[in-house]
């Protein structure tokens, strides 16, 4: 295997390519925190116009699977002839260890390693240990800072990290277990390459994936429901990152139960529980209690968060629940007889809390209420609004009645009224009252430029006959019965008046 290698801050440097091993080495299963690594291109084929499928002899790019989206990142071809004095990779200490498993650098980077062994850690859920062990807390802080810095600077920082390079757009696992990296540019087979993951994306996915385990484990423990589905929705462009994670619990949950799930999930996060993964032997597996979501090739991989969850899973997870940061169940709905929960973790959860808090504060300010009493203030406002709307409706009816009653009508056949004032929307009531002053009453209410809503009413004649004439002449729509017809039409007031009088006289003349 690898004779010279070194591991620093999640960056794996290799001095020897393992070209004889035809099986891709899945570095992500060896150490999920490798964010830069060297590899050799084993094949590259054009699969469609400007789309290439690239395989490497080893990869830390996780292919989509088990509900976890694929990694993205960059691949850069290394110079064929290293500079005198050797590249960074060649400076590894002689007698170096297996790259990922046990190098001192890897252990230091882990940072948490010492805590489980400390009795105080077990007793205090991981917190006490840091305070009572001299230097313990400092070590953890340093690690968190290193993670954070490494996370954002992956493409720029890191010794010899691939600035630029060819973008890895997607990664999939082929049927034969090979891991295929999709790019827009070809890479020469046999080339030595340096690869870098989009670490911010990966660590966020691992935080959410681990958070999902904790939530599903708590639901399973409290209510006996299993996880019937799990989805990570990713944004693009400016909204890149996790949009939301949905978890489908197999049974109904109410708001109180969901709040309890969230509380216990965050307790598990704060406890800083180590997350372990292993592929137990079948005999060992038979005696284990674990949730099972998805099968994967090459045996069953059990991901264990002691006291919180044990689940068969092929995805990637953070080392400690503490790294999940925060679990927020943002919404839920009934789904296929169970419950679909929407959740966010870590910084996404903080952002969601921040945005919602800002919105609630703004609402409270508008209502001159405290955020805690804003809902009551909104309810009162809606009540008052409904009462006001009812009063306005009554007032409009009264205005309509008064206007109709005070209408002066000269013509005996038709009472014709044009109004622009929307204060009386009830033109049918208006026409009904006006119809007592002539054989037929027609009321037109302006409804945009050259457009009118109309109501035609009559106590003794066929109002719908006039409506038909109006519709025909003015591209109108609508109709009704003999006593009342309503519709819309388009035309000038002058033309409409002329036609309405002529038609009304005809209707009255014919039938009187
Ligand atoms: Zn998982």
Q: Give the distance (Å) from ligand 1 centre to CA of residue 420.
A: 66
Report how far residue 449's alpha carbon sits from residue 258's, in angstroms, rounded to the nearest whole number: 54
Q: How far is the CA of 241 from the centre of ligand 1 (A)?
A: 18
How many whole angstroms from 429 Cα to the centroid of ligand 1?
Answer: 67
CA 387 to mean position of chain CA atoms:
39
**Ligand 1 geometric centre to CA of 5 (Å):** 29
Vertex 385 angle, CA 384 and 387, to 5°: 65
> Cα of 152 to ligand 1 centre, how many Å?
24
Q: What is the mean pLDDT of residues 139-157?
A: 33
How far away, in angstroms, is 296 Cα from ligand 1 center?
A: 12
Q: How far is the CA of 66 from the centre of ligand 1 (A)?
A: 7
Helix axes 374-405, 427-434, angle to 10 degrees: 20
- Most confidently predicted of 91-105, 118-132, 173-187: 173-187
**Lowest model confidence (mean pLDDT) among 82-86, 94-98, 216-220, 283-287:** 94-98
User: How many Å lie between the centroid of ligand 1 and the Cα of residue 290?
Assistant: 12
* 158-162 mean pLDDT: 44
Pair 214, 265: CB distance under 8 Å: yes
Average pLDDT, the chain: 80
503, 436 in Cβ contact below 8 A?
no
Q: Nearest-CA neighbor of 198 among 152, 252, 136?
A: 152
* Contact between 222 and 257 (Cβ < 8 Å): yes
| 18 or 195, higher pLDDT | 195
> H or E element: which one contains 488?
strand 484-490
Q: Give pLDDT tens digits for 456-496.
A: 999 999 999 999 999 999 999 999 999 999 999 999 999 99
Q: How far is the CA of 313 from the centre of ligand 1 (A)?
A: 5
Rounded to the nearest angstrom, the distance between the alpha carbon of 85 and the centre of ligand 1 is: 43
Evaluate if residue 104 carries a pLDDT over 80: no
Distance CA 148, CA 289 (A): 35
- Report the 10 Å Cβ neighbour count for 375: 14
How remote is the CA of residue 314 from the centroid of ligand 1, in Å?
A: 6
Closest among 321, 325, 323 to 351, alpha carbons compared? 325
Whether the CB-CB separation of 202 and 71 falls below 8 Å is answered with yes
Please give the distance, rounded to the nearest whole angstrom, from the Cα atom of residue 233 to the centre of ligand 1: 16
pLDDT the model gives residue 424? 62
Closest Cα partner for 56 from 42, 74, 37? 42
Where do the domains of the chain lie, and which CATH numbers do they carry? Answer: 5-197 (2.40.30.130), 203-353 (3.30.980.10), 397-511 (3.10.310.40)
For residue 43, the tally of other CB atoms under 10 A from its CB is 13
CA-CA distance, 230 to 243, in Å (whole number)? 14
Q: For residue 178, how far is its CA from the centre of ligand 1 (angstroms)? A: 21
The whole-angstrom separation of Cα 147 and Cα 319 is 12
Q: For residue 511, how far is its CA from the centre of ligand 1 (angstroms)? A: 84
* Residue that has been written with the tokens 């009531």 in this structure: 429
Instruction: Considering only residues 116 and 283, tell me which one the structure prediction assigns the higher pLDDT.
Output: 283
State mean pLDDT over 118-137.
Answer: 33
Q: What percent of the chain has pLDDT over 90?
A: 60
H or E stretch at 282? helix 282-286
What pLDDT shows up at residue 381?
95
d(CA 258, CA 252): 10
Which residue's entry shows tokens 């400390």? 118
* C-alpha 444 – ligand 1 centre gap (Å): 67
276-282: which pairs have CB atoms within 8 A and are 24 or more residues apart?
276/303, 276/304, 276/305, 276/306, 277/29, 277/301, 277/302, 277/303, 277/304, 277/313, 277/317, 278/302, 278/304
- Cα–Cα–Cα angle for 69, 72, 76, nearest 5°? 155
Alpha-carbon distance of 406 to 157, in angstroms, equals: 84
DSSP one-letter code for 90: G
Per-residue H/E/C for 405-419: HCCCCCCCCEEEEEE
Q: Which residue has the tokens 């054009």?
A: 46
pLDDT higher than threshold 90 for residue 132:
no
Q: Facing residues of 232 across strands?
A: 245
Taking the centre of ligand 1 as the mean of its atom positions, its distance from the CA of residue 213, in whole angstroms, is: 6
- Please tell me the distance between residue 326's alpha carbon and the centre of ligand 1 in angstroms: 17
Has residue 506 got a pLDDT over 60? yes
CA of 432 to the centre of ligand 1 (A): 71
pLDDT of 302 higher than 60? yes
Q: Which residues contact 167 (CB under 8 A, 6 or more apart)?
A: 72, 73, 74, 183, 184
- Ligand 1 mean position, distance from CA 14 (Å): 28
pLDDT tens per residue across span 347-363: 999 999 999 999 999 99
Q: In the prediction, which pLDDT does 11 show?
A: 53
- Judge contact between 54 and 181, C-beta under 8 A: yes
Instruction: For 381-418, write each residue's pLDDT tens digit.
Output: 999 999 999 999 898 888 888 988 898 988 889 999 99
User: Which pLDDT value is given to residue 66?
Assistant: 79
pLDDT the model gives residue 120: 36
At residue 148, the pLDDT reads: 35
Mind listing the pLDDT tens digit for each residue in 211-258? 999 999 999 999 999 999 889 999 887 778 899 999 999 999 999 999
Q: What is the pLDDT of residue 471?
A: 96
Give the three-state DSSP class for 266.
Answer: helix
Question: How far away, in angstroms, is 164 Cα from ligand 1 center?
Answer: 31
| Structure tokens given for 476 | 């109108």
For the chain, counts of helices (H) and of strands (E): 13, 24
- The Å distance, Cα 209 to ligand 1 centre, comes to 6
Alpha carbon of 423 to ligand 1 centroid (Å): 62
Q: How far is the CA of 321 from the centre of ligand 1 (A)?
A: 13
Q: Is the pLDDT of residue 294 over 80?
A: no
Separation of CA 214 and ligand 1 centre (Å): 10
> How far is the centre of ligand 1, averaged over its atoms, from the C-alpha of 69 (Å)?
12
Percent of the chain with pLDDT over 70: 77
In the three-class reduction of DSSP (H, G, I as helix; E, B as strand; rest coil), residue 367 is classed as: coil
| Cα 346 to ligand 1 centroid, rounded to whole Å | 17
């Amino acid at each position: 295997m690898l004779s010279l290698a070194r591991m620093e801050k999640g960056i794996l440097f290799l001095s020897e390519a393992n070209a004889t091993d035809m099986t891709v080495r899945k570095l992500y299963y060896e150490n999920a925190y490798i964010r830069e690594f060297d590899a050799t291109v084993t094949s590259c084929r054009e699969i469609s116009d400007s789309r290439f499928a690239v395989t490497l002899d080893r990869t830390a790019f996780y292919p989509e699977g088990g509900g976890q989206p694929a990694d993205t990142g960059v691949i850069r071809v290394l110079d064929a002839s290293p500079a005198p004095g050797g590249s960074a990779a060649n400076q590894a200490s002689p007698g170096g260890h297996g790259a990922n498993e046990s190098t001192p650098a890897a252990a230091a980077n882990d940072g948490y390693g010492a805590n489980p062994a400390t009795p105080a850690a077990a007793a205090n859920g991981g917190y006490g240990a840091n305070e009572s062990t001299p230097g313990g807390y400092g070590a953890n802080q340093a690690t968190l800072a290193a993670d954070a810095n490494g996370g954002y600077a992956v493409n720029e920082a890191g010794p010899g990290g691939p600035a630029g390079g060819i973008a890895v757009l997607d990664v999939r696992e082929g049927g034969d277990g090979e891991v295929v990296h999709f790019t827009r540019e070809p890479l020469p087979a046999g080339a030595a390459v340096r690869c870098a993951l989009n670490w911010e994306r990966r660590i966020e996915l691992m935080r959410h994936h681990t958070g999902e385990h904790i939530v599903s484990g708590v639901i399973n423990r409290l209510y006996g429901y299993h996880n019937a589905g799990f989805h990570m929705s990713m944004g693009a462009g400016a909204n890149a990152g996790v949009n939301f994670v949905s978890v489908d619990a197999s049974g109904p949950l109410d708001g109180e139960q969901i709040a309890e799930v969230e509380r216990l999930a965050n307790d598990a996060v704060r406890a800083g529980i180590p997350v372990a993964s292993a592929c137990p032997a079948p005999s060992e597996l038979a005696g284990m209690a674990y949730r099972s979501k998805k099968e994967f090739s090459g045996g069953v991989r059990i991901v264990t968060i002691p006291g919180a969850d044990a689940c068969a899973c092929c995805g990637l997870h953070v080392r400690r629940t503490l790294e999940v940061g925060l679990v927020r169940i943002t919404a839920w709905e009934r789904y296929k007889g169970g419950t679909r929960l929407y959740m966010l973790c870590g910084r996404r959860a903080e952002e969601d809390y921040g945005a919602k808090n800002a919105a609630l504060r703004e609402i409270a300010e508008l209502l001159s209420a405290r955020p805690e009493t804003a809902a009551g203030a909104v309810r009162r406002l809606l009540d008052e609004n409904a009462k006001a709307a009812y009063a306005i409706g009554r007032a409009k009816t009264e205005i309509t009645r008064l206007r109709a009653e005070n209408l002066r009508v000269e013509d005996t056949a038709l009472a014709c009224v044009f109004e622009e004032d929307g204060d009386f929307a009830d033109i049918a009531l208006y026409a009904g009252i006006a119809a007592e002053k002539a054989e037929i009453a027609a009321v037109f209410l302006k409804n945009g430029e050259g457009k009118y809503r109309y109501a035609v009413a009559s106590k003794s004649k066929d109002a719908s006959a006039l409506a038909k004439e109006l519709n025909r002449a003015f591209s109108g729509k609508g109709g009704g019965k003999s006593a009342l017809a309503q519709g819309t039409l388009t035309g000038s007031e002058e033309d409409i008046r002329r036609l309405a009088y002529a038609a009304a006289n005809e209707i009255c003349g014919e039938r009187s």
